[in-house]
Copies of this chain bind each other. A is one copy, B any other.
Amino acid sequence: MKIVGRSVERTDAVAKVTGAGMFITDFSLPGMLFGKTLRSPHSHARIVNIDSTKALALPGVKAVLTHENTPRKRFNTSATMTFTVPNTKPVLDQRIFDDHVRYVGDEVAAVAAVSEEIAEQALKLIQVDYELLPAVYDPLLAMESAALPIHPCREGKNIPGNIVRILYNDIDKGFEKSDVIVEGTFKLPVQKQAQLETQAALANADANGNLTVWSTTQTPHPTKIILSAVFGIANSKIRVLNPPYVGGGFGVRIGCSAKAEPIAAALSLATRKPVKIVYSREEDFIASDTRHGGYVFVRLGAARDGTFQALELKGILNAGAYCSFSVETPGVLGAMGLAVYCIPHANYYGHSVYTNTTPAGAFRGFGNTQAMSAIESAVDMMAAKLGIDALELRLKNIIKVGDPWCLPYPCQSTGLAECIKEGAKRIGWEERGKRITNDPHKRRGIGMGVSTHVSNSWPFCVDYDNAIITMQQDGSMQLAVGVPEIGCGSATTLAQLAAEILGVSFKRISVVQGDTAATPFDIGSHASRTLYAAGTAVLAAAQQLKREILQYAAEEYHISVEKLDIIDGVIKDIKSEGVFVELNEFVWQAHLRNRQFIGIGQTVPGNAPPWQAHFAEIEVDLTTGKIDVLKIVAAHDVGKAVNPQIVEGQIEGGVLMGVGYATTEEIRYDTKGRQQSYNYHNYMLPTAADRPEIEAVIIETCDPSGPLGAKGVGETGTTPTPAAIMNAVYDALGIRFMELPLNQERVYRAIKRLEERV
Number of A residues, CB within 8 Å of B: 65
Q: A234-B472, A236-B477, A510-B234 are in contact. Are A594 and B604 (CB under 8 A)?
A: yes
User: Does A716 lie at the interface of the complex (its beta carbon under 8 Å from any beta carbon of B)?
Assistant: no
Q: Which of A444-497 contact B (CB under 8 A)?
A: 458, 462-464, 466, 468, 470, 472-474, 476-478, 480
Q: Which of A62-70, A80-88, A357-365 contacts B (4 or more CB under 8 A)?
A: A80-88
Residues of B within 8 Å of A623, CB to CB, are none
CB under 8 Å from chain B, chain A span 1-59: 11-15, 18, 20-22, 26-30
- By a CB distance below 8 angstroms, the chain B residues around A272 are 20
The smallest C-beta distance from A210 to any residue of chain B, in angstroms, reads 7
The reply on A517 being an interface residue by CB < 8 A is yes
Residue of A85, A476, A589 contacting most chain B CB atoms (<10 Å): A476
* Interface residue ranges of A271-293 to B (CB < 8 Å): 272
User: Which residues between 364 and 409 of chain A lie within 8 Å of chain B, taking CB atoms?
Assistant: none
Does A173 interact with chain B (Cβ within 8 Å)? no
Say whether A181 faces chain B, with CB atoms less than 8 Å apart.
no
Q: What residues on B are CB-neighbors of A196 within 8 Å? A: none
A645 at the interface (CB under 8 A from B): no
| Interface flags, A334-368, vs B, CB<8A=1, else 0 | 00000000000000000000000000000000000
- A565 interface residue per 8 A CB criterion: no
CA gap between A438 and B598 in the complex, in Å: 68
Q: Is A437 an interface residue (CB 8 A)?
A: no
Q: Verify if A644 is at the interface (C-beta below 8 Å from B).
A: no
Residues B466 and A15 in contact, CB atoms below 8 Å apart: no
Q: Does A595 touch B at the CB level, under 8 Å?
A: yes
Q: Is B592's CB under 8 angstroms from A84's CB?
A: yes
Q: What residues of chain B lie closer than 8 Å to A208, measured between beta carbons?
A: 11-15
Tell me if B520 and A470 are in contact (CB < 8 A).
yes
B contact residues around A476 at 8 Å (CB) = 234-237
Q: Are A472 and B236 in contact (CB under 8 A)?
A: yes
- Let me know if A236 and B86 touch, CB within 8 A: no
- Name A466's closest neighbour in chain B (CB-CB): B596
CB-nearest residue of chain B to A234: B476
A13 neighbours in B (Cβ, 8 Å): 208
A667 CB within 8 Å of chain B: no
A521 at the interface (CB under 8 A from B): yes
Q: A464-B594, A468-B468 are in contact. Are A21 and B234 (CB under 8 A)?
A: no
Q: Does A228 contact B (CB under 8 A)?
A: yes
Q: A165 within 8 Å of B by Cβ?
A: no
20 contacting pairs across A/B (C-beta < 8 A):
A11-B208, A15-B207, A20-B207, A21-B206, A82-B473, A84-B592, A86-B589, A234-B474, A234-B507, A458-B594, A462-B592, A464-B595, A470-B521, A478-B517, A480-B518, A515-B517, A517-B518, A521-B596, A598-B600, A598-B602
Query: Besides the contacts A26-B30, A462-B591, A464-B596, what 13 more A-B pairs have beta carbons closer than 8 Å?
Result: A22-B30, A82-B473, A85-B592, A225-B473, A234-B508, A236-B472, A237-B510, A462-B592, A462-B594, A480-B518, A517-B518, A594-B604, A596-B602
A-side residues, CB < 8 A to B, are 11-15, 18, 20-22, 26-30, 82, 84-86, 206-210, 225, 228, 234-237, 272, 458, 462-464, 466, 468, 470, 472-474, 476-478, 480, 507-510, 512, 515, 517-518, 520-521, 589, 591-596, 598, 600, 602, 604
